[in-house]
Amino acid sequence: DEKEKFEPTVFRDTIVQGLNEAGSDLEAIAKFLDATGSRLDYRRYADTLFDILVAGSMLDDNDKTKMTNHCVFFADEDHDAIRNYAQVSKG
């Protein structure tokens, strides 16, 4: 029984790339996250996924080239915008 490697940076790169390709369309982002969930282990990388969806990248990583603006921190500062991001996160 081989032990699977824990590679949060590879997970981050995949999620950030998909979010950036989806653009600002929250429906496209939700579809990407749904489709990717069947391939990636969201439970294993829950902290990393949370960091990306809220802050745009891993909080303990300073690589600014591996970020997305499609997250809560970059959302418009109004109730509806934040609620829409919360709906995407709940999936």
Give the CA radius of gyration of the chain: 13
Number of domains in the chain: 1
Average pLDDT across the chain, whole number: 88
Number of Cβ atoms within 10 Å of the Cβ of 32: 19
DSSP state of 69: S
Q: What is the reported pLDDT for 2? A: 62
What's the whole-model pTM score? Answer: 0.84
Q: What is the pLDDT of residue 90?
A: 65
**Residue 84 sits in which domain range?**
1-90
Neighbours of 12 (CB within 10 A): 22
- Give the confidence band of 33 by pLDDT, cuts at 50, 70, 90: very high
Structure tokens of 42? 């969201």
Phi-psi sector, 41: left (phi>0), alpha (psi -120 to 50), beta: beta
